[in-house]
Amino acid sequence: MLNVSSNSIQQRLSKDKIKALDNLNLSPANKMFTRWLWGTMIFIVILCFLPWTQNIQSKGKVTTLNPDHRPQTIHSTIAGRVEKWYVQEGQLVEKGDTILFLSEIKAEYFDTQLVDRTNDQVRAKEDAVVAYGNKAQALNDQMANMREELTLKRAQLRNKITQGQLKITSDSIAAIQADIDYQIAVRQFQREDTLYKQGIKTLTQLEGKRLKVQETQAKQVAAFNKLATSSNEMENAMLQLNQIEFEYGQKLAKATSDRFSTLSQQFDTEANVNKLRIASSNYARRADFYYIIAPQDAYITKAIVNGIGETVKEGEAVVSIMPAKFNLAVEMFVTPMDLPLLQLGETVRIQFDGWPAIVFAGWPDVSFGTFTGKVVAIDNMITTKDSKYRVLVSPDDSDKEWPKALRPGSGAWAITLLNDVPIWYEVWRQLNGFPPDYYYQEEMEDDMPKLKAPLKSVK
């Protein structure tokens, strides 16, 4: 009934007598559904206020922490021919063990006594260096003797010049005396001639005076000639001194030139000796490269060069190895939007391929089969084709150890744990596409103390 009238008849009706009214009540299933619906809504509301750990999930793979612990290839330092293998794939070798023996394929190294013959050349050149040194010393002694001889010749000629000067002085005096005697004789002859004309002196006396004049004149001429001869001798001695200086200067210059030429040859020979020594050392060192040895304790993973008789080039890979001892790490790759949220020392939960795990990303405490790691390095540039940054994670010593059977190259799933937030906040952030803790960091920036930025690999 619609009950549109103000005159109701419900008071007059008896519900006990009308059984159809009992069938109009709700069924028990409908009531149960209503209760479950309200319970679910209340559960969802409560769930929205539960804590949720924000995280960054990324794929990765197992690697090693140290570069020298990663798989590597051993290269041949020289070109050669494979003669003998000493190992097989999968074998454990220790550092210094021989892996492969190569023989020479270059014609200039075929001589089996190449090092000995090169050493003989070194010794011959060393003897030549000694000989050049002795020759230079002999020339040096010869130059010293020449200088001493020049000094003696110079002193001898200077003494001769001094003697010539004294002789010139003596001859000058003698010439002056002869000139005076001649003048006296001339005057006496003139007086005798005057007296002869007056008849006082005889002709015999006059002739005697004339003879005296001639004798003194002859002595005068001889004295002046002797003086001129002494002067010429002194000039010749001075010229001889200059000649000796020039002659010995030429001899010393030639000896000096020979000495420098000898020293040049000595230095050139010493350079050749050093070249031969280097060559001998290189030949001896090259012989050590015939045997390829293990650089560290490792397993032989794959022989790149096969068989006997195959030739290899310089720097060509011959075998790949995996170090026997290594420190495991995981390299994971994150997007540029998540990179600013990572810090050195950040905790990371890791799930390895082959190890069963039950993972609850938002509740790491209830996860099972995961392992803990710490961020130790963050790349400063994108290193993958899909524009992601590489992050290196090492084991956390405070938690359980990583599986011993892990090997580099296996897959991993890394979950980087961030701050704890309510579930409703995380749902709202995911729906809006905001990065984790974007608004949280901006809101708390003014309240945080101004501290020095921690040392990290990412600026």
- Taking alpha carbons only, the member of 341, 343, 333 closest to residue 411 is 333
State how far the Cα of 449 lies from the Cα of 170, in Å rounded to an integer: 116
Residue showing tokens 């020479």: 104
Q: Identify the pLDDT of residue 203.
A: 80
Cα(273)–Cα(119) distance, integer angstroms? 10
Q: Are 154 and 162 in contact (CB under 8 A)?
A: no
pLDDT of residue 363: 52
Please report the pLDDT score of residue 196 as a whole number: 80
Other CB atoms within 10 Å distance of the CB of residue 154: 14
Residue type, 151: T
The whole-angstrom separation of Cα 231 and Cα 222 is 14
Q: How far is CA 361 from CA 54, 155, 181, 449, in A?
A: 8, 111, 147, 31
Beta strands 411-422; 51-64: pairing state = antiparallel
Residue pointed to by tokens 């020293």: 263
pTM of the model: 0.57
Closest CA to 278 of 132, 125, 131: 125
Q: Are 75 and 318 in contact (CB under 8 A)?
A: yes
Domains and CATH numbers, the chain: 10-67+327-444 (2.40.30.170), 72-97+294-323 (2.40.50.100), 114-288 (1.10.287)
Residue type, 280: S
At 73, phi and psi to the nearest 5? Answer: -115, 145
| Dihedral sign of CA atoms 55, 56, 59, 64 in order | negative
- pLDDT tens by residue, the chain, 459 residues: 455 556 665 666 555 555 555 555 556 666 777 788 888 888 888 877 777 676 777 888 888 888 888 889 999 989 999 999 999 998 999 999 999 999 998 888 888 888 889 999 999 999 999 999 999 999 999 999 999 998 898 888 889 888 888 888 888 888 888 888 888 888 888 888 888 888 777 788 878 888 888 888 888 888 888 888 888 888 888 888 888 888 888 988 999 999 999 999 999 999 999 999 999 898 888 888 999 999 999 999 999 988 888 999 998 999 999 888 888 899 888 888 777 777 888 888 888 887 765 555 555 554 555 788 888 888 888 877 778 888 899 998 888 888 888 888 888 888 777 767 777 777 777 777 666 664 444 444 444 444 444 444 444
Q: Would you put residue 3 in left (φ > 0), alpha (ψ -120 to 50) or beta?
A: left
Q: Identify the bridge partners of residue 9 per DSSP, sorted by sequence position.
A: none
What's the confidence (pLDDT) of residue 318? 93
What is the dihedral angle through the alpha carbons of 370, 376, 382, 386, rounded to the nearest 10 degrees? 0
Question: Residues with Cβ < 8 Å from 371, sequence gap 6 or more?
Answer: 349, 350, 351, 352, 395, 399, 400, 402, 403
